[in-house]
Amino acid sequence: MALLNIIETEKDVSKALRKKSRAVEEITPRIITLLDDMTETLKASGGVGLAAPQVGVLRRVVVVDDGEKVIELINPEIISAEGEEEDIEACLSIPGKWGLVKRPLTVTVRAKDRTGKDVTHTGTGLIARCFCHEIDHLNGVLYTDKATRMLKPEELEMKE
């Protein structure tokens, strides 16, 4: 396994993270290595989720750490969403910035796992937000596009 570089320069974010990712047609050893490396990178970063485009790979692959395990999603799609919640959001590719974003409170995603098996995962609160945020990355959308407003550092401190 290897730590991957997370794209975070403004030029690279606007260029690389604005492209739509391609579906994974076949789960190859390369995709398995990508999942392993993304998981290691996510854990080292202290983040909750990571999408392949954030490490320079335009494939529909996401990893999300739910606090107990890392959920691997290949070709994820949201199949249901309920409720609404506005909360603070940030991104590993846009360090030092935070925004208020409205997202569904509960989200169910369908994807394939590393063995090619169809799986569904339901998340509430932070995990639902993370599923939406990471799937947005696969479509070239950043949380800043959806933010009702960006927060100043002193506002963030007041909310903690």
77 is a catalytic site residue: no
DSSP 19: S
The catalytic position among 26, 82, 84, 134 is: 134
Active site residues: 134
